[in-house]
Copies of this chain bind each other. A is one copy, B any other.
Amino acid sequence: MRQHFASITLQTRGPALYDFTDKAKRIVEQSEIAQGLLTCFVRHTSASLTIQENADPDVLRDLASFLDRLVSRDEKLYRHITEGPDDMPSHIRSMLTQTSLSIPLRDGRMILGTWQGLYLFEHRDAPHEREIALHLIGE
């Protein structure tokens, strides 16, 4: 049994979902762990992770629009407003999605379904550099 650590850095440009499936695939291949478990962990509280449909980009836009409607930017609703009107909604949007994802590995591949892709969900308006830590265990 072995472990492998890696990290993926993404440059974001505003609230949207950023696909990192291919980057994760390459790390799985490099790890040479064929059977095991991959954990992805985002090191931020205003960006998050989700596994979603990778076929129609409109799905990604609709997911972002839904959260935009659900989580108001009205500053009267919040106490934490010093970092801008998009900051507290970003924390809420992160809470409603995922900080970590766990994906089994078989025969050197993530066992994703046909339509599943891995996404970083950026919730802030300004461009950000985001880091996803990856841990692999197996053999």
Q: Which residues of A contact B (CB under 8 A)?
A: 1, 3, 5, 35-37, 39, 41, 43-46, 50-53, 56, 58-59, 61-63, 65-66, 69-71, 77-80, 82, 88, 91-92, 94-104, 106, 111-113, 115-116, 131, 133-135, 137-139
Contact at B51–A111, with CB atoms within 8 Å? no
Shortest beta-carbon distance, A21 to chain B, in Å? 13
In the complex the two chains form, is A112's CB within 8 Å of B43's CB? Answer: yes
Chain A contact residues: over half helix, strand or loop, or mixed? mixed
| Copies in the assembly, this chain | 3
| Cross-chain contact of A50 among B71, B95, B135 (Cβ < 8 A) | B95
Q: Is the CB of A103 within 8 A of B41?
A: yes
Check A80 against B102 for contact (C-beta < 8 Å): no
